[in-house]
Amino acid sequence: MKAASKCLFSISVVIAFGLSCFAQEAHVGNLTGHASEGKKHYRRFCIGCHGPLGDGNGENAQWIDPKPRDFTAATFKCRSTPTGTLPTDQDLYNSIGRGFTNSNMPHWDPLPDQTRLDLVAYIKSFSPRWQSEKAGDPIKVPPEPSVTMESITHGAELFQKMECWKCHGQQGRGDGPSAPTLTDSKDQPIRPYNFAAGGDDSRFKCGSSNQDLYRIFITGVDGTPMPSFADVIQPNDAWDLVHYLRTLQTQRHSKENEVLKAAGGKIPVKPSDANPPAQPDNKGSGGGN
Amino acid sequence: MSKQCFAVLLVIIVCPALVFGAGTVTGKITYTGTPAKMKPIDMSKEPSCAKQHTTPVTTEAVVTGANNTLANVVVYISAGAPDESSVPSQAVTYTQKGCQYIPHVLPMRTGQELKVVNDDQTSHNIHPLAKVNHEWNKSQPPGTPPLSEKFDKEEFIPVKCNVHPWMHGYFVVLKTSHYAVSGADGTFKLPDLPPGKYTLTAWQEDYGTQTQDVTISGSESKTVDFSFKAKPY
């Protein structure tokens, strides 16, 4: 009996050890990142801001706004996965390489791929969530329809209907009525994204392509006031919103701004409470669920 | 025949629980001292909500009644609760109406379905600032169907809407279904308690928790009152 329980115990230890080993790795493509290696790089590149405990309380943190990420909470802004779920290794890997615009987090693209992936593996060791949970299922981004005035106009209507302007402002300048009151999940003041700032080099927090923009409002930006719209917006509508948001970047060259310019530069305004009968013809039932 | 057998078996199993297990704990929550004044809420930025209120709206962190009673206090069995493996199949509902949360404090069982409803003509975002459970944040424009969620771990989760910064509430996720929220008169009732020794915990969002032990034998009714010391600020 005793031997049996001992055996069981050792098996469970082996399993637990195996799981923790698994959690200390990160995978992107054919590469495997190792936390033991990542720790060395972390102590060199990351510890100053994110701190020895990974809780975002490094010695530089007090001078930094927005604050460095707290890895112990395992809440991440840039994900391909639904709100409330863990990001994929690829998401974290991309975030390190991309850096975070409008923050002190630089892009770490100059580091070798292997180093960045080792860092991902080490970052995952700061929260036990990585041992008990898998990453969420990445949301699907359907192929982008072509940019048309109809799409942009409908996007503008959705911008009103979804009340994006409450925070981002009517011109997308990040100056909506709720903007001054916004705080992140650590009660630090935080600004909504200003679409109008910046030119051709402007980037969003989680990427710079139309696909990235689509993903940002579908997944939400966890830990910030930006919610997920996954349950309340259909794929075709989401693309229309993407096309409209691009026109708010007035200083940036884009297909969307060209189409808008060719149409006279003005988006026709419809009464906000009217349900235009033409809409089903334009949008059909396309997009599905 | 087999159906009758089943019925008889059911009676044999259930009856003892009904006969011996109908203990009840009732009580009243009061405070001593002077609670802080609740702050007035200005909803003028959201006219569709402002017009729903005919009387001034204030924050709801401390809701008092006549004779120093406290409402919105969650009382639950924190230790000794009978084993409850089954999660209630009916959902609990959290409604956003007039840019307020109804109820302000919503207790639920771990794993129980939570429905979040938007009755307003404005977009809300439901943002539970969970630390033990997962933090998530979802938009709910007017006219969209209820959100369905659940929480797996015990936690007192502050809930906010970032669009309307005055909106605050709580999800209270408990490992037991034996819970109650004190009403406007400060009273609560925990029925259907089998005999046993229990620890009762009372939680108020600003005043913290208090515990008391109670022993139930047979189908008796016991009274357990709690008194919180009010914080003036």
Who contacts A40 (Cβ-Cβ below 8 Å, separation ≥6)? none
CATH no., domain B1-43+59-77+185-233: 2.60.40.10
Taking chain B (233 residues) in runs of 10, the rounded mean pLDDT of each run is 50 46 90 95 95 96 96 96 82 98 97 98 97 96 96 97 97 96 97 93 97 93 96 86
Residue A199's pLDDT is what?
A: 86
Task: Give contacts of A 61-100 with B, CB under 8 A.
Answer: 73, 75, 83-85
- Tell me the shortest Cα–Cα distance from B111 to chain A, in angstroms: 16
Cβ of B139 within 8 Å of Cβ of A232? The answer is yes
Cβ of B137 within 8 Å of Cβ of A227? The answer is yes
Which residue bears the tokens 């679409």?
A195
Domain boundaries along the sequence of chain B: 1-43+59-77+185-233, 85-175
- Tell me the shortest Cα–Cα distance from A201 to chain B, in angstroms: 29
Choose the closest CB to A232 out of B127, B135, B141: B141
Q: Contact, A252 vs A120, CB < 8 A?
A: no
Residue A275's pLDDT is what?
A: 41
Cβ of B137 within 8 Å of Cβ of A177? The answer is no
Residue B85's pLDDT is what?
A: 72
Residue B4's pLDDT is what?
A: 55
Residue B29's pLDDT is what?
A: 98
Q: How far apart, in whole angstroms, are the C-alpha atoms of residue A86 and residue A129?
A: 8
**Tell me: the pLDDT tens digits for A76-96?**
999 999 999 999 999 999 999
Domains of chain A are 24-132 (1.10.760), 149-277 (1.10.760.10)
Residue B14's pLDDT is what?
A: 45
What is the CATH architecture of B85-175?
Sandwich (2.60)
Which ranges of chain A have pLDDT less than 50? Answer: 1, 13-14, 17-21, 23, 272-289
- Tell me the shortest Cα–Cα distance from A129 to chain B, in angstroms: 10
Q: What is the pTM of this model?
A: 0.85
**A-chain residue closest to B150, CA distance:** A84
Instruction: State phi, psi for A72 to the nearest 5 degrees.
Output: -70, -20
